[in-house]
Amino acid sequence: MESVQVILVIVVVSLTILFLAVGFQVFLIMLDLRRAVKRLNSLLEDSILGGGLLRPEKLTSILEVFRRKKSPSDTREKGES
């Protein structure tokens, strides 16, 4: 009977260690997800604030960039920086 108890203790201890490791990994994944959501939020905030540049509801919104007049900073030659 004592050998069964020893095996049971070994199994319980090993499962506890395994669950602690898995829990720590899940915690790290949640931290990474939180950082990614913060970055996405700031990116979306910037796109909402600068929403006058493009109209995303149109499929031709990329062409609108090329149709707009170039600003004075865009008219510089490539050699100048």
pLDDT tens, the chain, 81 aa long:
799 999 999 999 999 999 999 999 999 999 999 999 999 888 887 776 665 555 555 546 566 666 775 555 555 555 554
52 vs 56: CA distance, rounded Å: 10
For residue 79, the model assigns a pLDDT of 55
Residue 5 near residue 13, CB atoms below 8 Å: no
For residue 16, the model assigns a pLDDT of 98
Residue 51's alpha-carbon distances to 31, 59, 81, in angstroms, are 30, 15, 28
For residue 63, the model assigns a pLDDT of 62
9 vs 4: CA distance, rounded Å: 9
Identity (one letter) of the amino acid at 65?
V
For residue 7, the model assigns a pLDDT of 97
Which pTM was predicted?
0.50
User: What residue ranges in 1-81 does DSSP mark as E strands?
Assistant: none
